[in-house]
Chains A and B, each alone.
Chain A
Amino acid sequence: MVLVVLGVSLLVFVLTRVVPSDPVAYLLGPRATKASIEQVKKELKLDLPIPIQYIQYIKGIFFERKLGISLIERRDVFDIVKERLPATIELIIFAMLIALVLGIPLGVISAIYKNTFIDQFSRVFTVAGVSIPQFWSGIMLQLLLGYGLSLLPLVGRIEGIPPHHITGLYLFDSLITLNFSAFFDSLYHIILPALVLSFSPLANFTRMLRVNMLDELTKNYIVVFRCSGISENTIVWKYMLKNAFSSTLTMIGLTTGFMLGGAFVVEKVFAWPGLARFGTDAIFNNDYNGMIGVIITISLVFVIINFVIDILYTYLDPRIKLRLKK
């Protein structure tokens, strides 16, 4: 994990430092004198050789929890990440929940009713889910549910006062402080962006689960269970699903990467105040420290999630543990 962070940071660092464009000149505007540019560079330690800059940067991450000063917000990127990451995480968790809650039954049902109308419908639905551009589906939902029917708010994360800060996840914080007005307020706001973000993962889960369930159906234990008189529902939802789901789990890991990327688009469409939005601003304004910080954080989140999933995997599929022991 540390290796990935080092690799990613090195990659981005080299990328941003080698290019000819000068962020400080950009920041100070066209009227800045050469002397003032040099001075700001010295303050930001941009005048040192690149390898030394990199070593200092890495030292800063591990020992001082610093990611460098953001040029657009004029404070350390670490603080910005701390403030904004929960919003993005909340969005992704919620989207993932939607995808799982809808995707599992859909995948199971289309496997049971293979080649029927339901299966065809779910097939078209899943292909459509991965083909739709997120920014467009976002705008269409805004148009339909926001402008047209006035059911849900168009943009933002919360209208009233945010709940007391504990984790930064509004839904969670408001629930444990029993602040129900804030809970429903943020719930209304999160539905649309999370729904848009969940389309593609939902499609992937459904598809993957369908294939895995069909695979399970051919196995002998199903016949044994049926002969022992266990009800079909128990077989499908308790035994088959558990086996089929463990291979779907890897998909979740891969999908998070996709969702973290998608967050950049969704947060822009819905003006969601998350880390991805800051990342877009940073990239636009040549704020290299901000950009590097965001990229490292997002990759780290991605790697951690995959790590957790690997652990869950061994829990769901004990064969892996046995193989490791051998």
Chain B
Amino acid sequence: MKQKNIRKGSIAKAFYRFRKNRIALICFFLIIFEIIIAIFAPLLAPYPEDAGGKAVHFSEQFLPPSRDHLCGTDEAGRDILSRLIFGARITFRLVVVVLTISFFIGVPLGICAGYFEGIVGQIIMRVTDVFLSIPALLAAMGISAVMKPTLENSMLAIGFVWWRSFCRLSYGETLSIKQEDFIEVSHSLGASHLHIMFREILPNITSPLIIALTLDSGYAILLGAALSFLGLGAHPPTPEWGIMVSSGRLYLPTYWWLSVFPGLVIFITVLSINLFGDGLRDFFAVEEE
């Protein structure tokens, strides 16, 4: 009971401290707002039927932004705002898939490598080095192409590329945590390796991992959009933001709204994730002091 109260108190205090960072707070609500939009997309989109590929209204082709179509219409007369709203669903699904895969591959490997420093650690870290020496976008392109470029495969591809950063991070953190006394104590109490790795070490490296998860979700969005832009992710007419920029590029400069708005949405989303992550980092840094 007492334990619970202390926890509650620290969360309230944490929220109070976080609240003082205005920018991070605004960004936090912006992200929540976007997630809500993504969940209720069919209700919120002004023209929900335009999100899929089947809708074609040639009479409404290339309408500039107006009151009826806030972001204009595209080459098939589809409302761009509705497509952007549905695109949010794809983007957040991408974030969840990518982070889940990379987290569950990278973190256990990193902790293992840091915990068993000898041969096991060496092997894991050398494999990670090999993965690290291929630029993320290039590696994701390769995997995605080999698996046949679709939206789902591009998500998997980014996940399989991204684990290395979690591995690196948890490796470094584990190395420093391992020196602490309480690890020695659990050793002498006869705790198993698994217990020490996941019940003792893991809870102590959560704050850097949470920061990394937040910041990496921004990079994952950028990477996914870049893959789609290059044609190795979603295909038109999927309302994915990257592919919307790339198909709108053909109609520049006259019909500028086709590319400008989807890109702007990506930019704002990633920007708010990054600013929020920054705030989170400051917050954890203060807590440690």
Contact = CB atoms under 8 A, between A and B. Distances in A.
- To the question of whether A and B form a pair in one complex, the answer is yes
Interface of A: 3-4, 7-8, 11-12, 15-16, 19, 21, 127-128, 130-136, 139-140, 142-143, 147-148, 257-258, 260-262, 264-265, 268-269, 279-280, 283-284, 286, 291, 294-295, 298-299, 302-303
A139 B222 contact: no
Contact of B271 (A12, A128, A257, A295): A128
A7 B134 CA distance: 11
Given A139-B245, A139-B252, A299-B133, A133 B222 contact: yes
Interface string B260-286: 101110110011011100100000000
Interface of B: 126-127, 129-139, 141-143, 145-148, 218, 222, 225-226, 229-232, 242, 245-246, 249, 252-253, 256, 259-260, 262-264, 266-267, 270-271, 273-275, 278
A127 B133 contact: no
Given A15-B146, A19-B146, A131-B267, A298 B252 contact: no
A136 B263 contact: yes
A15 B143 contact: yes
Contacts of B252: 139, 142-143, 147
Given A142-B252, A143-B253, A147-B252, A133 B225 contact: yes
B130 A11 contact: yes
Contact of B142 (A15, A135, A265): A15
B270 A147 contact: no
Contacts of A136: 245, 259, 262-264, 266-267
A142 B262 CA distance: 16
A148 B260 CA distance: 14
Interface of A (DSSP majority class): helix
Of all A-B residue pairs in the complex, the 3 with the closest CB atoms, nearest first, are A136-B263, A261-B135, A261-B137
Given A127-B275, A284-B231, A303-B133, A260 B138 contact: yes
A268 B260 CA distance: 18
A280 B230 contact: yes
B249 A262 contact: no
Nearest to B271: A131
Contacts of A132: 267, 270-271
B259 A19 contact: no
A260 B132 CA distance: 13
Contacts of A268: 229-230
A142 B134 CA distance: 29
A277 B218 CA distance: 25
Contacts of B273: 131
A264 B278 contact: no
Contact of B134 (A21, A262, A284, A299): A299
A150 B273 CA distance: 35
Contacts, number: 135
Q: Which residue, B135, B232, B274, has most C-beta atoms of chain A within 10 A? A: B135
19 contacts: A7-B126, A7-B130, A21-B148, A127-B271, A128-B267, A130-B274, A131-B222, A131-B273, A132-B270, A135-B225, A135-B226, A143-B260, A147-B252, A260-B138, A261-B137, A264-B230, A283-B142, A284-B145, A302-B134
Nearest to A9: B130
Contacts of A139: 245, 249, 252, 259, 263
Contacts of B274: 127, 130-131
A147 B254 CA distance: 10
B130 A283 contact: no
A298 B142 CA distance: 13
Nearest to A306: B133
B276 to A, nearest CB: 10
Contact of B253 (A11, A133, A148, A264): A148
A8 B133 contact: yes
B26 to A, nearest CB: 13
A60 to B, nearest CB: 20
A299 B135 CA distance: 7
A280 to B, nearest CB: 6
Contact of A279 (B136, B138, B262): B138
Contact of B270 (A11, A133, A295, A298): A133
A134 B137 CA distance: 12
Contact of B229 (A260, A265, A294, A302): A265
A286 B226 CA distance: 19
Contacts of A264: 137-138, 141, 226, 230
Given A133-B242, A135-B245, A257 B135 contact: yes
Contact of A133 (B143, B145, B263): B263
Contacts of B245: 133, 135-136, 139
Given A132-B267, A142-B252, A148-B253, A298 B141 contact: no
Nearest to A269: B249
Q: Which residue, B136, B143, B253, B264, has most C-beta atoms of chain A within 10 A? A: B253
Contacts of A298: 134-135, 138
A265 B223 CA distance: 10
A300 to B, nearest CB: 8
Contacts of A12: 142
A299 B133 CA distance: 5
